[in-house]
């Protein structure tokens, strides 16, 4: 990775601001107890820095807000739809563009059409909604990320790559209706996929006549990683790189809540006329007419502009630098994180940070609680609380207990990041005072959203 010799600045001025409500530690102790030690159950106004997700939390630009005012809210054939369609077609090259209200709606439609019992759908790592929609269709969702992608300390530049040998073996033995790559690989730490890996995956799948789709939520961040890390791309624009990524594929699902800098929206795009026709019929049944797909036209306007703004090289330089800066601040103070820093989030190794808390007492959730107590920071546990209960109801502890700090786009400044890093260091240093946790309530599936805990 190139060393930084200059200050990378936020490439925007701030025109609209939202005050942060400051809380005291005493207040936060009371609020956290009332939320049963699960920050998902907090009111957002009791959170000072919300790093729960980078999804739907972007600050929109003046151009996006302006376009929303002149949107054409016609039920059918809206001008705003055609504007959106033109932008997506120019970027992706796909023949059909079907708007949906968010990423998982595109997944449900796609896997409802191509999935089914007896089929396997490979990916580097399926995101949890993608996996759930594949499995809902009766198909098997298979993760084939390279071994380096599972090792938090490994500094491979493209830890999101799929293992091509494993993919080739799978194609010989299983029925595969569609192959997928998630860029960047959220489940694996926001790690990028190289253009070479995209190209080889495409060749392999096409040799077997199998369609290849991207889960393109963070396509612009992936393009910037290719530009800065892969030989031959340094002089290309993120836009050209993104176009090349899509050119190897037959379609894509996209949650515009990420790299379209929007609060809601998404699309399903593809080249197949047959798939598009079936998808539009499903869309009419469940989302809305094909020129609005469950959205207001003002959302289509915001997406059309966001998809362009996100590819601005200065923006991407700042975006990737802020995640790197945050990670470095923590690493310099001895806090271990997934390496190298990914695009949209910092992932702290909670077992290393709180070694005195046994795995059975959920060190990830304990760290999430202590970050809230120390600095009013809301983060999310990615470990045994999220994944530790198997379908038979047994508790099986996951390989890692991570805490994800997802960074909303264009929302927090450098001094916010400095403050958060100070508070995180203070929380970890005060570690002896932290307690492990036990469940007092858990739902049978996706328990992390509504779980309740008590200190051990
Ligand atoms: N694919 C990936 C890689 C995602 O990260 C997400 C959402 C989705 C699909 C689903 O999109 O939320 O619009 O339905 N990720 C969010 C997160 C929720 O916090 O990482 P959606």
How far is CA 234 from each of CA 153, 158, 210, 224, 308, rounded to the nearest angstrom?
Answer: 26, 16, 31, 9, 20
- Atom nearest to 257 CA in ligand 1: 13
Q: Which of 258, 303, 449 to mutate to test the pocket of ligand 1 (most atoms within 8 A of CB)?
A: 258
Q: What is the DSSP string of 15-27?
A: -S--------HHH
Per-residue pLDDT in tens (0 to 9) along the chain, 456 residues: 555 557 889 999 999 999 999 999 999 999 999 999 999 999 999 999 999 999 999 999 999 999 999 999 999 999 999 999 999 999 999 999 999 999 999 999 999 999 999 999 999 999 989 999 999 999 999 999 999 998 889 999 999 999 999 999 999 999 999 999 999 999 888 999 999 999 999 999 999 999 999 999 999 999 999 999 999 999 999 999 999 999 999 999 999 999 999 999 999 999 999 999 999 999 999 999 999 999 999 999 999 999 999 999 999 999 999 999 999 999 999 999 999 999 999 999 999 999 999 999 999 999 999 999 999 999 999 999 988 887 677 888 888 899 999 999 999 999 999 999 999 999 999 876 678 999 999 988 789 999 999 999
Q: Is the peptide bond before 100 cis (omega within 30 degrees of 0)?
A: no
Partner residues linked to 266 by β-bridges: 100, 255
Residue 343, ligand 1, Cβ within 6 A: no
CA of 259 to the centre of ligand 1 (A): 11
Q: Is the peptide bond before 223 cis (omega within 30 degrees of 0)?
A: no
Q: Which residues of 189-222 are buried (b: 16+ CB within 10 A; e: fewer)?
A: bbbbbbbebbebbbebbeeeebbbbbbbbbbbbb
Which residue's CA lies nearest to atom 19 of ligand 1?
53
Residue 215, ligand 1, Cβ within 6 A: yes
Which residue's CA lies nearest to atom 4 of ligand 1?
127
For residue 131, what are its two tokens?
Answer: 């996996």
| Cβ pair 199, 233 in contact under 8 A | no
Please provide residue 446's backbone torsions phi and psi, each rounded to the nearest 5 degrees. 45, 55
Residue 130, ligand 1, Cβ within 6 A: yes
- Model confidence, pTM: 0.95
| Cβ pair 21, 48 in contact under 8 A | yes
Partner residues linked to 389 by β-bridges: 395
What's the CA angle centered on 62, arms 58 and 64, to 5 degrees? 65
The helices-and-strands tally (H runs, E runs) of the chain is 16, 14
Which residue's CA lies nearest to atom 10 of ligand 1?
103
- Atom nearest to 266 CA in ligand 1: 13
- Atom nearest to 52 CA in ligand 1: 19
141, containing H or E segment: strand 140-143
Q: Is the peptide bond before 271 cis (omega within 30 degrees of 0)?
A: no
| Residue 59: partners with Cβ closer than 8 Å, 6 or more residues away | 408, 409, 410, 411
Q: How far is CA 413 from the centre of its chain?
A: 21
CA of 267 to the centre of ligand 1 (A): 13
For residue 198, what are its two tokens?
Answer: 């995209």
């Amino acid at each position: 990775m190139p060393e930084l010799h200059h200050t990378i600045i936020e490439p925007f001025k701030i025109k609209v601001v939202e005050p942060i409500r400051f809380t005291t530690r005493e207040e936060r102790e009371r609020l956290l107890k009332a939320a049963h030690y699960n920050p998902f159950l907090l009111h957002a106004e009791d959170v000072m820095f919300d790093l729960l997700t980078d999804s739907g939390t972007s600050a929109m630009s003046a151009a996006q807000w302006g376009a929303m005012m002149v949107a054409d809210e016609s039920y059918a054939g809206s001008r705003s739809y055609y504007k959106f369609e033109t932008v997506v077609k120019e970027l992706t090259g796909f023949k059909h563009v079907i708007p949906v209200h968010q990423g998982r709606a595109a997944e449900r439609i796609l896997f409802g059409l191509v999935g089914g019992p007896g089929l396997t759908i490979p990916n580097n790592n399926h995101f949890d909604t993608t996996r759930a929609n594949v499995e809902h269709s009766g198909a098997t969702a298979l993760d084939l990320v390279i071994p380096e992608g599972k090792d938090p300390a490994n500094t491979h530049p493209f830890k999101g790559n799929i293992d091509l040998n494993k993919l080739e073996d799978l194609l010989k033995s299983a029925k595969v209706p569609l192959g997928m790559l998630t860029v960047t690989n959220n489940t694996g730490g926001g790690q990028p996929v190289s253009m070479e890996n995209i190209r080889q995956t495409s060749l392999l799948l096409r040799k077997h006549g199998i369609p290849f789709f991207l889960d393109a939520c963070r396509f612009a961040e992936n393009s910037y990683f290719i530009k800065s890390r892969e030989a031959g791309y340094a002089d290309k624009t993120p836009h050209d790189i993104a176009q090349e990524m899509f050119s190897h594929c037959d379609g894509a699902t996209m949650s515009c809540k990420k790299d379209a800098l929007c609060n809601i929206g998404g699309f399903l795009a593809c080249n197949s006329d047959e798939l598009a026709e079936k998808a539009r019929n499903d869309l009419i049944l469940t989302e809305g007419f094909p020129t609005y797909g469950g959205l207001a036209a003002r959302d289509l306007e915001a997406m059309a502009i966001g998809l362009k703004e996100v590819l601005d090289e200065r923006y991407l330089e700042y975006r990737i630098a802020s995640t790197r800066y945050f990670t470095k601040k923590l690493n310099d103070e001895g806090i271990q994180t997934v390496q190298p820093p990914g695009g949209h989030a910092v992932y702290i190794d909670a077992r290393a940070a709180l070694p005195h808390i046994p795995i059975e007492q959920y060190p990830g959730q304990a760290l999430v609680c202590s970050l809230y107590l120390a600095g009013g920071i809301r983060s999310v546990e990615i470990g045994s609380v999220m994944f530790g209960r198997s379908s038979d109801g047994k508790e099986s502890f996951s390989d890692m207990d991570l805490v994800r700090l997802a960074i909303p786009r264009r929302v927090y400044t450098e001094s916010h990041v400095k403050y958060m890093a100070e508070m995180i260091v203070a929380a970890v240093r005060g570690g002896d005072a932290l307690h492990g946790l036990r469940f007092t309530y858990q739902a049978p599936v996706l328990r992390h959203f509504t779980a309740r805990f008590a200190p051990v």
